[in-house]
Amino acid sequence: MKKILFSAYSMDVGGIETALITLLKNIKDKYDITLVLEKKEGIFLSEVPENIKIIKYRPSTFKIVLIRKAINFIKQQIFKLRYKNRFDFSASYATYSYSSSFVARTASKNSALWVHNDYLNFYKGDVEKYKDFFKKVKIENFKKIVFVSENDKNTFIKYFESQKNKCIKCNNLIDYNKIIQKSKEPAVGFEERENIVTFINVGRHKEPQKKLSRIINATKRLNEEGYIFRVLFVGDGEDSEDYKKQAEGINNIEFLGAKKNPYPYLAKSDCLLMSSDYEGYPVVFIESMILGKPIITTDVSDSKQDVKGKFGIVVEKSEDGVYFGMKEYLDKRFDMQKFDSKEYNDKILKKLDEIFFIGDSLK
């Protein structure tokens, strides 16, 4: 049985961690897997399959720089002695983690870095910061670079053309049976309203990225035109209180807070509404498709390729874009294709096998 290793920061709640636990569950019986964590903690830790070995590798954070460097040098040497090139494949699944990068590059000659986000937008278009980020994780030392979005892959190649032949696009797996099952659980706090369209936004409340103010302002405008509907926000974050202030007096906006299980709320709503300026690849796209919910999204990630004309509409990244998207749905709704969850996962599993052990034939 082939030996593979994944390194990550923790197994706490988040998009990367959700994708990782789904991946591990799907390949647990096919490979001898080791998981290396910087923090051996998190809500998903108990879900890691029992036959997967978990190792903790945590760099020192000692305040005195020289001592910290000495401790980390010793830790690196010990890790190399134990694990250098002991695996057939290794991957850093937490793009941003320098220690995760070190672990994956050390564990095998067949290493990969997973890229889950649009880091150029994360750095607000600062190309030098973008380049510096990937140089710090030693991108040139990985054999493969795996992007969950074609858009992010193309952006990377624009600035790292010498790494082009290493770049592969592969979506994250989705636990569709779990999503369908959990969507049938009670939606606590959800008030059923007949003949009223319910838009829903699910995600972190962080204005620089999510731009939920666009939804709030678009709702105000549609209310003034006499449209009857409501908007639900499921999630929280650093800008939650500011959003609530912006929405004061708007009776058809409801803040439901963060939910460990958001699927019942998505299942009971009519349409997913996204207003972001940038995303890696929004897992909520696939979750909505699985639950048969049409999507209105700004032009982020691979939305034009995966959503437009199939599962919803793509609008410009502005308040006007969100406003016209909501208005179009309220005026005439839109049909969506049937999503084949099994076919989606099967294609990804085949691609993963190739990433793990074929590599150079991929583009």
Residue 38 domain-assigned (yes or no): yes
Share of the chain above pLDDT 70, in %: 98
- Asked if residue 230 and residue 127 are part of one domain, the reply reads no
pLDDT bin (cut points 50, 70, 90) of residue 361 is very low
Residue 357 domain-assigned (yes or no): no
The number of angstroms, rounded, from the C-alpha of 116 to the middle of its chain's C-alpha atoms is 6
Look at residue 43 in the predicted model and tell me its pLDDT.
83
Shortest CA distance to 104 belongs to which of 120, 88, 116? 88
- Asked if residue 212 and residue 141 are part of one domain, the reply reads no
**Contacting residues for 15 by C-beta, under 8 A, at least 6 apart:** 116, 280, 283
Name the phi and psi angles at 274, rounded to 5.
-125, 140
Q: What is the pLDDT of residues 109-120, one digit of tens each?
A: 999 999 998 999
Mean pLDDT throughout 266-286? 94
Domain count for the chain, please give it: 2
Residue 71 domain-assigned (yes or no): yes
Look at residue 362 in the predicted model and tell me its pLDDT.
46
261 in Cβ contact with 182 (< 8 Å): yes
Its pTM stands at 0.86
**Which CATH number is 325's domain given?**
3.40.50.2000
pLDDT bin (cut points 50, 70, 90) of residue 52 is very high
One-letter amino acid at 121 equals: N
One-letter amino acid at 27 equals: I
Residue 354 domain-assigned (yes or no): no
- Asked if residue 186 and residue 138 are part of one domain, the reply reads no
- Asked if residue 192 and residue 324 are part of one domain, the reply reads yes
Look at residue 65 in the predicted model and tell me its pLDDT.
95
- Asked if residue 191 and residue 295 are part of one domain, the reply reads yes
pLDDT bin (cut points 50, 70, 90) of residue 363 is very low
- Asked if residue 210 and residue 155 are part of one domain, the reply reads no
Mean pLDDT throughout 3-18? 90
What is the 3 state secondary structure string of the chain?
A: CCEEEEEECCCCCCHHHHHHHHHHHHHCCCCEEEEEECCCCCCCHHHCCCCCEEEECCCCCCCCHHHHHHHHHHHHHHHHHHHCCCCCEEEECCCCCHHHHHHHHHHCCCEEEEECCCHHHHCCCCHHHHHHHHHHCCHHHCCEEEECCHHHHHHHHHHCHHHHHHEEECCCCCCHHHHHHHCCCCCCCCCCCCCCEEEEEECCCCHHHHCCHHHHHHHHHHHHCCCCEEEEEECCCCCHHHHHHHCCCCCCEEEEECCCCCHHHHHHCCEEEECCCCCCCCHHHHHHHHCCCCEEEECCCCHHHHCECCCEEEECCCHHHHHHHHHHHHHHCCCCCCCCHHHHHHHHHHHHHHHHHCCCCCC
Tokens of 33: 């897997």
Q: Please determine, for residue 297, whether its predicted confidence score (pLDDT) is greater than 50.
A: yes
244 in Cβ contact with 279 (< 8 Å): no
Q: Please determine, for residue 98, whether its predicted confidence score (pLDDT) is greater than 70.
A: yes
- Asked if residue 126 and residue 29 are part of one domain, the reply reads yes
Mean pLDDT throughout 179-199? 93
Q: What is the pLDDT of residues 317-358, one digit of tens each?
A: 999 999 999 999 999 998 899 999 999 999 999 999 999 986
Residue 313 domain-assigned (yes or no): yes
Shortest CA distance to 363 belongs to which of 169, 147, 156? 169
Residue 348 domain-assigned (yes or no): no
- Asked if residue 212 and residue 307 are part of one domain, the reply reads yes
28 in Cβ contact with 352 (< 8 Å): no
- Asked if residue 200 and residue 161 are part of one domain, the reply reads no
The number of angstroms, rounded, from the C-alpha of 111 to the middle of its chain's C-alpha atoms is 21
Look at residue 15 in the predicted model and tell me its pLDDT.
78
Q: Whole-number mean pLDDT of the chain? A: 95
Q: What is the pLDDT of residues 209-250, one digit of tens each?
A: 999 999 999 999 999 999 999 999 999 999 999 999 999 999
Q: Please determine, for residue 359, whether its predicted confidence score (pLDDT) is greater than 70.
A: no
Residue 268 domain-assigned (yes or no): yes
| Rounded Cα distance, 342 and 357, in Å | 23
Domain end, chosen from 126, 153, 169, is at: 169
| Rounded Cα distance, 262 and 313, in Å | 22
- Asked if residue 35 and residue 151 are part of one domain, the reply reads yes
Structural domain for 279, as ranges: 177-339
- Asked if residue 310 and residue 276 are part of one domain, the reply reads yes
Residue 57 domain-assigned (yes or no): yes
- Asked if residue 230 and residue 112 are part of one domain, the reply reads no
